[in-house]
Amino acid sequence: MGAEQGSMIGSFLPLIILFAIFYFLIIRPQQKQVKAHKEMLTSLEKGDKIITSGGLIATIIKVEEDFIKIKLNDDTVVKLDKAYVAKKVETGNENA
């Protein structure tokens, strides 16, 4: 029975190694990215410039629980779901 267990472990070893590689190359970086995006969403404040998932550049007017009010230009104010904020525009990147 000891030899059978050794061969079973030996046959599963490549599968275990493949899963470990998959975890460290795909799953873990994706979890870090999701965590960083959530932290960015919680740090949004009035006056911040953002880029939406649709590519619009806007300024935050008011942060609410699930939505934010943004100003697209001098006359257009809209309400946006926080999930559609792609990224926060840093002050040095205002060349758009």
Question: What pLDDT tens digit does each residue of the chain (96 aa) get?
Answer: 455 666 777 788 889 999 999 999 999 999 999 999 999 999 999 999 999 999 999 999 999 989 999 999 989 999 999 999 999 998 764 454
Q: According to the model, what pLDDT value does residue 96 have?
A: 45
Task: Tell me which CATH code domain 45-96 carries.
Answer: 2.30.30
pTM equals 0.66
Domain boundaries, the chain: 1-43, 45-96
Q: What is the dihedral of CA 43, 49, 53, 55, to 10 degrees?
A: -170
User: How many whole angstroms separate alpha carbon 92 and alpha carbon 10?
Assistant: 54
